[in-house]
Amino acid sequence: TPAQQLPIKLLYGAGLRVGELVQLRVQDINLSSREVTVRDGKGGLDRVSVLPDALIEPVGHQLEELRRMQRREKRRGEPTRVPLPASLTAKKPHAAFELSWMWLFPANPKRNRNGDLVRWHRSVSAVQKAFKEALRKSSVEKDASCHTLRHSFATHLLRAGTDIRTVQKLLGHTNVSTTMRYLHVL
């Protein structure tokens, strides 16, 4: 389904780890500059990756669907909150209801101990399961995982002539030797 395809396409198109993908929030997407900001990635570092032209429209549709979902919940009088970073919870408690803090790929809401509806992000395992199902349906005979898409992202950039330092930055590697592993494929 399109709802399952977009996360998988974004894994490849932006070179994301699956854990980074599910934690993307609306504010992490910049359609005009074609950027995806990964916050608190591996090693606790933030980085910016590319948002491919082919995903601008589908990601735009996803953002619009999130806006509609938020409006429906408000009309019903039961808006869902999203968990916030601890430092922000005390400073801006209403941010938990703002569109910018909503997960790009939300899960269904659940009630917390206080009876409030809270919406977490889609689980890593749900994305992995969707990928495995897509792989099975495609009749690809190769063993692959969500992380294979990240490797493909890097390999295709290097094949296209992108310099190793740029690929390193997009992948969020602190050491270029980690990125160099992708050169053996070439």
For the question of residue 147 being annotated catalytic, the response is yes
**Predicted local distance difference test score (pLDDT) of residue 141:** 83
pLDDT in tens, the chain (186 residues): 777 899 999 999 999 999 999 999 999 999 999 999 999 888 888 999 999 999 999 999 999 999 999 999 999 988 889 999 888 888 898 999 999 999 999 999 999 898 888 999 999 999 999 999 999 888 888 889 999 999 999 999 999 999 999 999 999 998 888 888 877 665
**Predicted local distance difference test score (pLDDT) of residue 186:** 55
CB of 41 closer than 8 Å to CB of 61:
no
Quick one: angle between helices 53-75 and 2-14, nearest 10? 130
CB-based burial, 62-85: b 16+ in 10 Å, e otherwise:
beeebeeebeebeeeeebbbbebe
**Predicted local distance difference test score (pLDDT) of residue 41:** 84
d(Cα 22, Cα 122) in Å, to the nearest integer?
A: 6
Alpha-helical (H) ranges within 34-117 are 53-75, 86-91
**Predicted local distance difference test score (pLDDT) of residue 185:** 60
For the question of residue 151 being annotated catalytic, the response is no
Q: Considering 81, 121, 122, 150, which one is annotated as catalytic?
A: 150
Q: Considering 12, 17, 25, 122, which one is annotated as catalytic?
A: 17
pTM over 0.85: yes
d(Cα 153, Cα 14) in Å, to the nearest integer?
A: 7
Q: Record the tokens describing residue 7, joined without a space.
A: 């996360």
- 110-111 vs 47-50, strand pairing mode: unpaired
Q: Considering 9, 39, 147, 169, which one is annotated as catalytic?
A: 147
**Predicted local distance difference test score (pLDDT) of residue 184:** 64
**Predicted local distance difference test score (pLDDT) of residue 175:** 87
What's the Rg (C-alpha) of the chain? 18
Number of residues that make up the chain: 186
For the question of residue 61 being annotated catalytic, the response is no
Q: Record the tokens describing residue 157, joined without a space.
A: 């950039």
Q: How far is CA 128 from CA 7, 88, 149, 172, in A?
A: 10, 30, 12, 21
CB-based burial, 124-150: b 16+ in 10 Å, e otherwise:
eebbeebbeeebeeeeeeeeeebeebb
Q: Considering 9, 34, 39, 42, which one is annotated as catalytic?
A: 42
- Partner residues linked to 39 by β-bridges: none
**Predicted local distance difference test score (pLDDT) of residue 85:** 87
The SS3 of residue 85 is coil
For the question of residue 92 being annotated catalytic, the response is no
- Partner residues linked to 30 by β-bridges: 35
For the question of residue 42 being annotated catalytic, the response is yes
For the question of residue 17 being annotated catalytic, the response is yes
